[in-house]
Amino acid sequence: MNADSPSAHGDDVLLPLSQVPRLKWLPRRRRGARIAFATIWRWSKHGVRGVKLRTVSVGDTMCTTEPWLHEFFEILGAAKNGETPIVRNATPSHRERRHRDAERGLARMGIH
């Protein structure tokens, strides 16, 4: 994997909300249906039990990352169980790497 390629697990790669329902690791709904885009959008705008899905706006496109989805589910699960969620703070080097990866992703999309 070179410096310009996304990581093997999709970490820190910006993902338009419209692409989230296509993620293979997300559980299916009744009768095998995917989670609806409207549900993902609602999670980002209104949240569930006071927990919102983190997003970033790239022009008119709302994006998230797979790590932010995992974080959303972890915090939501803790809130549902009445637990205090563990919020992981990124180290400066991790934040810097995420920033560089996001810039590369935007450049690949033709956004500078």
Per-domain boundaries in the chain: 15-108
Indicate the average pLDDT of the chain.
Answer: 81
Pairing of strands 61-64, 15-16: antiparallel
Q: What is the pLDDT of residue 43?
A: 95
Q: What is the pLDDT of residue 85?
A: 59
In single-letter form, the type of residue at position 100 comes to: R
Q: What is the pLDDT of residue 86?
A: 55
Q: What is the pTM of this model?
A: 0.64
Give the integer Cα–Cα distance in Å for 8 and 105: 14
- Residue located via tokens 């959303």: 72
**Coil, helix or strand at residue 19:** helix
Residue 53 — very low, low, confident or very high, per pLDDT cuts 50/70/90?
Answer: very high
- Region 3-14: mean pLDDT is 53
**Coil, helix or strand at residue 22:** helix
